[in-house]
């Protein structure tokens, strides 16, 4: 009996781990930029040390944040009349936190001899929220780093 239970446990665990992940939703690669993008209902950490605020709607025009509007209080329904209007694209950010870009104070951008191009490394950093990097070595040459 114990052997049977062990076998069943191992079989179900292996089957669960071998199951493929769910498919990502369909989307266009490289969507945007939009003339007016509104991210709705997020909780905002502004980087000043103040407590998070939210829910807020963030209006982005021409790749610049034009407005951050408080649209309510946590756990209270949002009144639609207080929300910004006329979005070309809206993103529902309910339950999502928006943070300022992170600064990496000691990063190495790599190079062809390390197997990755610097552009690839920069895209990885950006995808993980790192928007500024201080590279102390400048291994790709001073002209490239400037």
Rounded to whole angstroms, how far apart are CA atoms 140 and 20? 40
Task: State pLDDT tens for residues 16-73.
Answer: 677 777 776 776 667 778 899 999 999 999 989 999 998 999 999 988 999 999 998 8
End-to-end CA, the chain: 70
0.85 surpassed by pTM: no
Distance from C-alpha of 55 to C-alpha of 63, rounded to nearest angstrom: 21
Q: How many helices (H) and strands (E) does the chain have?
A: 3, 7
Count Cβ atoms below 10 Å from residue 57 Cβ, excluding itself.
Answer: 24
CA distance 66 to 54: 17
- Domains in the chain: ranges and CATH: 36-98 (2.30.40.10), 102-145 (no CATH)
Residue 19's SS3 state is coil
pLDDT tier at 135 (50, 70, 90 boundaries)? confident
Contact 139, 109 (CB under 8 A): yes
146: confidence class by pLDDT, cuts 50, 70, 90:
low
């Amino acid at each position: 009996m114990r052997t049977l239970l062990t076998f069943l446990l191992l079989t179900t665990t292996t089957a669960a781990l071998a199951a493929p992940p769910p498919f990502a939703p369909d989307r266009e690669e490289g969507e945007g930029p939009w003339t007016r993008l509104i991210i709705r209902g997020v909780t905002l950490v502004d980087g000043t040390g103040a407590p998070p605020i939210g829910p807020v709607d963030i209006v982005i025009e021409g790749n610049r944040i034009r407005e951050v509007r408080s649209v309510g209080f946590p756990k209270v329904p949002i009144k639609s009349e207080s929300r910004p209007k006329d979005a070309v694209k809206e993103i529902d950010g309910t339950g999502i936190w928006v943070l300022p870009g992170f600064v990496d104070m000691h990063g190495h951008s790599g190079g062809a001899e390390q197997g990755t191009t610097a552009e690839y490394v920069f895209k990885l950093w950006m995808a993980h929220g790192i928007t500024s990097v201080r590279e102390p070595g400048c291994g790709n040459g001073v002209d490239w780093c400037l």
